[in-house]
Structure 1
Amino acid sequence: MTGATGLIGGAVLHRALEGGDDATWVCLVRCAGVEQGRQRIAARLSRFTDAFTAQRLARKVEVVPGDFTRADIDRDPRLDDCTHVLHLAADTSWWGDERVYRTNHDGTLALARRARAMPDLQRFLHVGTAMICGADADEFVAEDDYPAADARHMVAYTVSKAATETSLAEHFPDLPVVVARPSIVVGHASLGAGPSSSILWVLRAADALRMLPCAPESHVDVVPADWVAETLIGLLTKPTLAHDLYHLSAGARGRTTWAEVIAAFEAAEPSDGRRAFRQFDLVADRAVLRRRFAEVFGLDGSLKQAMLRAVRAYYAFCALDVTFANDRLLAEGFAPAPTLPAYLPVCLANGATIVEQFADDIEMFAVPPPAPEARAAGDALAASA
């Protein structure tokens, strides 16, 4: 397993280890040594349980210090014995094109090359994203619609994930690759915002701003992290699968309208009973959004300025009104995901402030430092701005 210290990785380990899974989980972790890696895993598990249990569960994990992007030169014999690979690790930054591509695309191919040396490998489960559909997708997206060469991507992350799927299919037809594409992962159905507030803060910010870049009747396809984890374990271990590509999504039956999201906020945090939202245009009303953001959150300091940029970026995804077909997943016998309104109250009950939650998510919006030769030009542009 890669990505054990991330949100979904932690959810997978917590579900598997707490549930008495007798499999040996071998985790490739970036760390200086085994104990440091184990403590990184324990720190993530502590978001799902108490500190003592997190330490106990982390002791069950076989830690291999290393980097998945260099896995093809990692000769640790414990990797040879793996029968299943769950590849979750990724650079989830929205910007920083070259670095993100190098990590997500080139790194995954390095891991796939290492997987060829696993003689008993039964499944290589690669976790991508349903958002490789880009900005111009139809309202309903089937698994085989993408990746597509003409997709208009909005962020570097989805570019890298689409390219990775294409390269895995082209260069590794000999591997038992299965691709899982989660839609938008928000919160935890029973623990709320405890494990992570990623993306939840966006919904809360939209509620506080009372602004939407789309009609209230448009849809959002959201699933909780614990359901994604349980479904990934099922896809990893189910002896036979009918397909090699699955959306992990709410689908047509579980998707949520923004009107339903608004109603769920009103039920959890009553206001005037109306919760009136203004619909706005992302391009034409940039100044309007900025003024409203300043009224609600302020624009003092770099954190809030970064938050405004992130809100704009997420609003672009909110406006897509896209639903990802999950018929394949349901046909395999997997349970449908809980709907967002059903578990939103628990997410709101144990969350920090919206700005604090954004700070927990800020690494997605970090811009890598410019190369030395570009720095002078960048400084000049900053001065003129």
Structure 2
Amino acid sequence: MSSLLITGATGFLSGAVLAKALSENAFDHYLLLVRASSAEEGLSRIKENLQRFACDEKSLSSLSLQNIIIGDLAEPDRFLNDERLLEVTHVINAAAVASFGENALIWKVNVEGTLKFARRMANVRKLKRFLHVGTAMSCIPEAGALVTESITHKEEEEHLVQYTWSKSSIEQLMLEQCPALPLVIARPSIVVGHSSLGCRPSSSIFWVFRMALMLGKFMCSLGDKIDVIPVDYCAEALLMLVKRRTVEERVYHVSAGDERSVSFAEIDRAIADALGQPPLSSDYRQVDYEDLIQCRREFKTIYGPCNERLMLRAMRLYGEFSRLNVRFSNKKLLGLGMPHPPRFVDYIRHCVETTRGTSIPEMMKVDFK
């Protein structure tokens, strides 16, 4: 009997994975790691998250208290002795503190707790695949590059944020300290929205594009490209990687690749079209971060009530990423039979429609926990 353990099951990506797995009857049994005070509360949180993905009632009712394992990677010792782990055949480890803010839990969860969990699962005899979800940005790509998969580890000071440093570090530690773990690493690029549900499941990162275009200036040029995929495509790829009997590579990008990445000019036109307004085109200006600081007094007028310092921090962080103009090669994933993803501009209208009436500061909360 196949048994899939999903960590971070109330999150954006894991919710999409579980919704798709249930709809396809991909596994015989599911074990879902949830932070909650009781199994009842955990099950309720899982179902509430699945409803954001329009999960049907049949799929929702298939889950019970037996599918819930109460635990937190911040305190892994509390669940690692659960006997149900012995029956697990496949793992999708997507739990992480995915904040670009300053969060004391990033290292505790993403590295220390995850390593303890990996060590435990390496001793589960029935385990066939441990799919760890990293991030394509952990490799610190060179500006303008088409990046191929690599497990090269770079120093902390080269990372823009602690999040990418933590994701790079845990990959190295698992490879070094868990040789018996049937490990495959999936590195998604930038996951934004859902190809049909837009930002209904989560507004994560979509607000960055709206913020920059509302301001009329940002640190990237309109000609720069960005590698974006929808969460449902990413979920499909993760399920394929975890279920596939054999894989030849240790690391796979889940990305738009060179062919399906989009320029900021295309994004501008698509958002403008969805809003029924003209694109910025020649009115847009590429600026340095110092120029953004100078216009901070305009933020409340443009965005409504907001924390100017947090807005500037967001602009600096995402501005640095946006002007990298990198794409992540997806040839290895496509070589396994995975189809090309939709282009961001092909579903961006859904993202616009599902965030109407929501302010930029409200949308930002998911990424600055």
**TM-score, normalised with respect to structure 2:** 0.91
Aligned residues: percent identity? 36
CA shift for structure 1 position 323:
0.8
Q: What does residue 336 of structure 2 align with?
A: 332
The within-5 A match list for 1:22-171 is 22-49=27-54, 52=57, 55-59=60-64, 62-71=67-76, 74-96=80-102, 98-134=104-140, 136-137=142-143, 139-144=145-150, 146-149=152-155, 152-171=158-177
Q: What does residue 349 of structure 1 align with?
A: 353
**Cα distance change of structure 1 residues 361 and 46 upon mapping to structure 2, 3 Å threshold:** farther
Task: Measure, in 2, the Cα distance between the counterparts of 1:301 and 1:294.
Answer: 6
Residues 93 and 133, structure 2, Cα contact 8 Å, conserved in 1: yes
The within-5 A match list for 1:1-385 is 1-49=6-54, 52=57, 55-59=60-64, 62-71=67-76, 74-96=80-102, 98-134=104-140, 136-137=142-143, 139-144=145-150, 146-149=152-155, 152-272=158-278, 275-298=281-304, 300-302=305-307, 305-355=309-359, 358-366=361-369
CA shift for structure 1 position 277:
4.1
Aligned to 1:144, the other structure's residue is in SS state coil
Task: Measure, in 2, the Cα distance between the counterparts of 1:9 and 1:349.
Answer: 23
Deviations 1:134-167 (A, max 9, x none): 3745512111164334771111101100111111
CA shift for structure 1 position 113:
1.3
* Superposed CA RMSD: 2.3
Aligned to 2:193, the other structure's residue is in SS state coil
Residues 70 and 111, structure 1, Cα contact 8 Å, conserved in 2: no
CA shift for structure 1 position 307:
3.5
Amino acid at match of 1:67: D
**Cα distance change of structure 1 residues 138 and 301 upon mapping to structure 2, 3 Å threshold:** closer
Deviations 1:220-244 (A, max 9, x none): 0000000001110000001111111
- Structure 1 residue runs of 5 or longer lacking an equivalent are 367-385
CA shift for structure 1 position 54:
6.8
Deviations 1:331-379 (A, max 9, x none): 1110111100100011112224352x6424425324xxxxxxxxxxxxx
Task: Measure, in 2, the Cα distance between the counterparts of 1:284 and 1:96.
Answer: 21
Residues 268 and 280, structure 2, Cα contact 8 Å, conserved in 1: no
**TM-score, normalised with respect to structure 1:** 0.87
Amino acid at match of 2:268: I
Residues 258 and 328, structure 2, Cα contact 8 Å, conserved in 1: yes
Task: Measure, in 2, the Cα distance between the counterparts of 1:281 and 1:135.
Answer: 22
- Structure 2 residue runs of 5 or longer lacking an equivalent are 1-5
Q: What does residue 3 of structure 2 align with?
A: none
Task: Measure, in 1, the Cα distance between the counterparts of 2:87 and 2:55.
Answer: 32
Amino acid at match of 2:36: C
Residues 16 and 235, structure 2, Cα contact 8 Å, conserved in 1: yes
Residues 224 and 264, structure 2, Cα contact 8 Å, conserved in 1: yes
Number of aligned pairs? 363
Residues 136 and 152, structure 1, Cα contact 8 Å, conserved in 2: no
CA shift for structure 1 position 25:
1.0
Task: Measure, in 1, the Cα distance between the counterparts of 2:333 and 2:133.
Answer: 14
Q: Which moved more, 1:284-293 or 1:23-32?
A: 284-293
